A and B are shown apart, each in its own frame.
Chain A
Amino acid sequence: MRAFTNINAKDFKDAASLLKQHENSMVIGGGSDSLGLVKEHLVSPDVLVNLKTIRGMDQITEKGNEVHIGGLITLDTLAHHPLINQRYKVLADAAGSVATPQIRNVGTLAGNLSQRPWCWYYRNGFPCFKNGGKQCFSITGENNFHAIFGGGPSFIVHPSDTAPALVALAAKFRIVGPGGERTVAAEDFFVLPKVNPAKENVLAKDEILAEVHLPAASKNARSLYHKELDREAWTHAVVSAALVLEMNGQSCKSAHVVLGGVAPIPWRVKKVEAMLAGQKIDEQVAGRAAEVALEGAQPLARNKYKIPLMKAILKRNLVALANA
């Protein structure tokens, strides 16, 4: 690797000010993804700001009605946490579906959320939007795994599993910068390429995702995350579905439906949420919802299989969750 200095941060404020202080710097959490970027020379930082030395920001605490999750919690801890499994299963499922045990043991929630894309053009250093260039090679290229919604001018899909889960849970993200803090709804954290094709989220260069806040889970809520993979383990989602249903007896009172693997951001389908509200979700209802969810999809030459695939996954999992 190109030489860099590792600086251990004391807390998030310290980390943010280090980022501001050092022009060519980046944060590093678990390290799994970021080190890979450095090794491939996709990024060439002079300074790595190490977040692992920050104490206490990996806990789950109840704060009033909310549940606060420290951004540095490992995916493994998150996946096995009893509270998360009881009340926010979609998040536990999502965290447990990431990569492999070795990666989940060190990978952080914040890291998973701010992960760079796994588009093979980006990862192979093609001079695309994500690499400081002015084009997207997937448009006329090998685009089997690229976006069918929200694409343009870049067509990556957001690689995170926890992202659609947290959007479905209406989570909020606490962001720490050198000047202060801000809280952003999960849904507003992710950025479409038409807004800024070089980035995937709203973090400024010197900002860090510090904490995730979950609203209180209703007693009648149930949720799941389904990830469709191309081998049985260790791939990013071909497509995925994060579903949260608030039930009223056998009917669905309200729903949050967020799709993964189909767009550059977690793709929330409000139309479908509206359709499902007050419905008893059976095969027919779920089937119609799936059709509506994929309306307006704009496939590229090699990814239109994602349309029937996403429909099938959404339909199956709506029925399964509603009737569990």
Chain B
Amino acid sequence: MSLTPLKTVGHDTHRVDAEKRVTGEATYTADLKLPRMLYARVLRSPHPHAKITKVDTSKAEALPGVKAILTRENCDVTWASGDSRNKRYLFNNPARFAGDAVAAVAAVDRHTAEDAIRLIDVQYETLPFVLDPEEALKDSAIPIHPGGNLSPTPRGEHVPDVLKRGDVAKGFQEADHVFEGTFTSPHINNAQMEPRAAMATWEGDKLTVYTSTQGIANCRTDIAKDLNMPAEKVRVVCLFMGGGFGNKNQNHDFDLMAAMLAKKAGVPVRVEFTRKEDFISVHGRWPTKSYYKVGVKSDGTLTAIQHRGFSNMGPYRKGQGDIAGIENYKCPNIERTTSMVYTNMAVSANLRGPAYPQGVFAIESIMDDVAHALKMDPIEFRLKNMTRMQGDSREYTSYGLEDCVLKGAEAFDWKKRWHAAGEGAGTVKAGVGMGIGVFPSSIARSDAIVTLNAKGQYTLYVGVTDIGTAAKTTMGMIAAEELGVDLSKIDVMSGDTATCPYSVGESGSRTTTHTGLAVVEAVRALKKQIAERGLPQGNDELRAAVSTNPNLGALARNSFVAHFAQVEVDTITGHVRVTDFLGAHDSGRIVNPLTAESQVKGGVTMGLGMALHEELRYDKHTGLPVSAGYYHARIMTHMDVPNVRVLFVETEDQYGPFGAKTLGELTIIPTVAAVGNAVFNAIGKRVRDLPITRERILEALA
């Protein structure tokens, strides 16, 4: 489909702040300093579960240069977005995971702060701990919160989350064949390059927090709520930030610690986390276990899908815990039961497509098994069974999944490369695999402000922070298109709640759509003003501030994706090399193909790491993590990445700004599945546990 070309939107555009980023002039949070600023570090529990019986800070207080210390004794601030079901304090007792904060110290420099936390004497009474969700659900397991380890629904019921359609029992009866499989995925860290930092400063009763966040507006309201302050007295600033992929949403305990330390010390305080703390004490993708049962007719038509899942949430319900995948398929009878379970592992919450790559790995693997057993080409199987309407009942506003699959397969040369699983001579075997994905591209409230001065320069105010997605540029391009002017005529201002209006920020792949629509509306309002009042003169400025609240009515709006991977597996060493990869995406109209391509390549890179390497490993006896940090986590390097090919399948969708739909998280959703299926195609054996290490491949082949 080719959409009507536009002037600015749809053309490769360099990032408006690219020069700042390549010259070192971009100021990230830890680059900012205020006079008399103190440095703060956090002391953490070395035990996975322990009552704290005594905290003696006297030696630390006596160290010259130490200006303020917080512990539970003098700070009972709670962090609401840190747990949606239980009260989560900044300093919890008992400590519920190795890495749970016990104290924070602000001192004249970071070395003194580090020396000081090591002088704090803490007495612990260790408690039994549990790391595995199914173990945690047993009666013998220690309850981590009152009510037990099955985290309750928002209504407080300790029952699993259930999604049903039709009658799976009937569906299995109607099936000619029934297939089962169990799939697991580990805890994976966001590992964004910028370790978190927050700098807080008070002026009277007004608080300013400079922090690395994905959404300044929500961060601000959360901080205000947690500190019992009116939101107008809180300002959040984030001009540049170095990634988050979901772990810098809402507010964080480090924002609150910085604020409380600054209050106590009477001077600005910067809290810095080390990389290890970032790995262990923030959060990562929830580990999952999926039991799948699939019923199918001999001609390949699905009759029933049953999924029983367990999500390891760690000890605080910071994340949702759902397991995606079932939305990929059309099937009259489905049942998805998910238990979100507390354990004493690191906390689980959002990482790029929080419920998705691990869930889609599971379902795309079992469906691939089904196709294999029925001797069907995986593409044929998807075309026969993939979703055509959301939940088989709601029409999509635009639907490009079939094009993604067909055009992607063609560009990938699927027909030539696909063969029966395990076929092929030699010890190094090549194989191809694919996976599909569906992700909501919602529309919802957002704000934007655009002004015009007498010199003809426009200024756009949006509450984004540009986490690497090029949001500033995208917003600017949307404004430029609607205004009919060159992008250079628009200054994009972002990252400061003092001047920028509400945006949900960059999470849930909502910025382009939510905030983009607001930008369009704001520009239209401005154009109306120009028509009514004429262009501004002298010192006058026209200003249009808009708050949208759009509605999809009965329709479902989603973006679609198909990923294709080719791998070579050395069957003697278990080594996997990804030799080719193609991502085919329907995200409506692509606003900026240049940066959108970067998104896809980036998501795929992350997905390849998740498929082959990454895992936060725990020692089972002590309940302590052993592989935190870039080295042990085996994050992808330059040498690991193949040349990733990108194909945008543009569909026409009237609900987004110029028809744009979401992209960001789709880029990782079927990646892991594609690799897993490619490995199966290569060696004829399936690895059902992530990551697909050489160990697991050699075990599968043995």
Among A2, A3, A230, max chain B CB count under 10 A is at A230
| Complex alpha-carbon distance, A124 and B111, angstroms | 20
Q: A3-B111, A144-B695 are in contact. Are A231 and B624 (CB under 8 A)?
A: no
Give chain B interface residues in 560-613, CB to chain A under 8 Å. Answer: 572-575, 612-613
Which A1-35 residues have a C-beta within 8 angstroms of B? 1-3
B613 to chain A, nearest CB (A): 6
Question: Bound complex: CA of A41 vs CA of B114, how far in Å?
Answer: 11
Residues in chain B near residue A295, CB distance under 8 A? none
Q: Which residue of B lies closest to A311 (CB)?
A: B572
Find the B residue at minimum CB distance from A40: B276
CB atoms of B619 and A233 under 8 A apart? no
Report how far A302 CA is from B695 CA in the complex, Å. Answer: 9
How many angstroms from the CA of A76 to the CA of B681 in the assembled complex?
41
Does A309 lie within 8 Å of B627, measured CB to CB?
Answer: no
Please tell me if the beta carbons of A230 and B574 are within 8 angstroms of each other in the complex.
no
Judged by a CB distance under 8 angstroms, whether B636 is at the interface is yes
Question: Cα distance A3–B574 when bound, in Å?
Answer: 46
Cβ–Cβ < 8 Å partners of A313 in chain B: 573
Query: How far, in angstroms, from A313 to B694 measured CA to CA in the complex?
Result: 14
**Cβ-based interface call for B626 (8 A):** yes
Bound CA span A73–B304, Å: 66
Question: B639, A232: Cβ atoms under 8 Å?
Answer: yes
Q: Residue B632 at the A interface, CB < 8 A?
A: yes
Instruction: Please state if A2 and B572 are interface contacts (CB–CB under 8 Å).
Output: no
With A232-B639, A234-B637, A305-B699 as given contacts, are A142 and B573 in contact (CB-CB < 8 Å)?
no
Chain B residues with Cβ under 8 A from A124's Cβ? 624-626, 628
Contact with B along A43-65 (1 / 0, CB 8 A): 00000000000000000000000
Chain B contacts with A in 98-135, Cβ cutoff 8 A = 111, 114-115, 118
B640 in contact (CB, < 8 A): yes
Main secondary structure of the interface of A (DSSP, over half): loop
Whether B626 contacts A312 by the Cβ 8 Å rule is no
Q: State the Cβ distance, B578 to closest chain A Cβ, in Å.
A: 10
A102 at the interface (CB under 8 A from B): no
* A231 with B637, Cβ < 8 A, contacts A121-B626, A141-B620 known: yes
Contact A142:B617 (CB < 8 A) given known A305-B694, A309-B574, A313-B573: yes
CB contacts under 8 Å to A, within B629-653, are 631-632, 634, 636-640
Contact between chains at A121 and B637 (CB < 8 Å): no
Q: In the complex, what residue of chain B is closest to A233 when comparing beta carbons?
A: B639
Q: Is the CB of B619 within 8 A of A137?
A: yes
A80 to chain B, nearest CB (A): 19
Distance, CA A228 to CA B640, complexed state (A) = 14
In the complex formed, the residue of B with least CB distance to A232 is: B639
Q: With A and B bound together, what is the CA distance between A309 and B618 in angstroms?
A: 25
Is the beta-carbon distance between B115 and A309 smaller than 8 angstroms?
A: no
The reply on A133 being an interface residue by CB < 8 A is no
- Residues of A130-164 at the interface with B, using a CB-CB cut-off of 8 Å, are 137, 140-142, 144
Q: Is there a chain A Cβ closer than 8 Å to B698's Cβ?
A: yes
- CB within 8 Å of A: which B534-565 residues: none
- The answer, yes or no, to whether B415 is at the interface (CB within 8 Å) is no
| Alpha-carbon gap, A302 to B118, bound state (A) | 35
CB atoms of B634 and A232 under 8 A apart: no
Which of these, B572, B638, B698, B699, contacts A233 with CB under 8 Å? B638
Contact A142 B626 (CB under 8 A): yes
> Which residues of B280-317 are within 8 A (CB) of A?
none
Q: Nearest residue in B to A307 (C-beta to C-beta)?
A: B698
Known contacts A141-B619, A141-B620, A142-B626: does B695 contact A232 (CB below 8 Å)?
A: no
Given A233-B637, A233-B638, A312-B573: A1 touches B627 (CB 8 Å cut-off) = no
Measured CB to CB, the closest approach of chain B to A63, in angstroms, equals 38
B155 within 8 A of partner (CB): no
**Is the beta-carbon distance between B115 and A230 smaller than 8 angstroms?**
no
Contacts of B617 in A (CB 8 A): 120, 142
**From residue A289, how far is it (CB to closest CB) to chain B in Å?**
16
Q: Mark B415-440, 1 if CB is under 8 A from A, else 0.
A: 00000000000000000000000000
A235 interface residue per 8 A CB criterion = yes
Residue ID in chain A nearest B617 by CB atoms: A142
Contact yes or no, A233 B640, CB < 8 A: yes
Instruction: Contact check, B613 vs A305: say whether CB atoms are below 8 A apart.
Output: no
Tell me if B54 is interfacial: C-beta within 8 Å of chain A.
Answer: no
28 A-B residue pairs with CB within 8 Å? A1-B111, A1-B114, A2-B115, A3-B111, A124-B628, A126-B622, A126-B624, A137-B622, A141-B626, A142-B618, A142-B626, A144-B695, A228-B573, A230-B613, A230-B694, A231-B612, A231-B636, A231-B637, A231-B639, A231-B640, A232-B640, A233-B637, A233-B638, A233-B640, A234-B631, A234-B637, A305-B574, A308-B572
Interface residues of A (CB under 8 A from B): 1-3, 41, 120-121, 123-124, 126, 137, 140-142, 144, 228, 230-235, 238, 302, 305, 308-309, 312-313
- List of 9 A-B pairs having minimum Cβ-Cβ separation, nearest first: A232-B639, A312-B572, A120-B626, A233-B639, A232-B640, A305-B695, A233-B637, A305-B698, A231-B634
- 13 extra interface residue pairs, beta carbon distance < 8 Å, beyond A137-B621, A233-B638, A305-B574: A2-B111, A120-B617, A120-B627, A124-B625, A137-B622, A141-B626, A144-B695, A231-B636, A232-B637, A232-B640, A235-B634, A309-B572, A312-B573
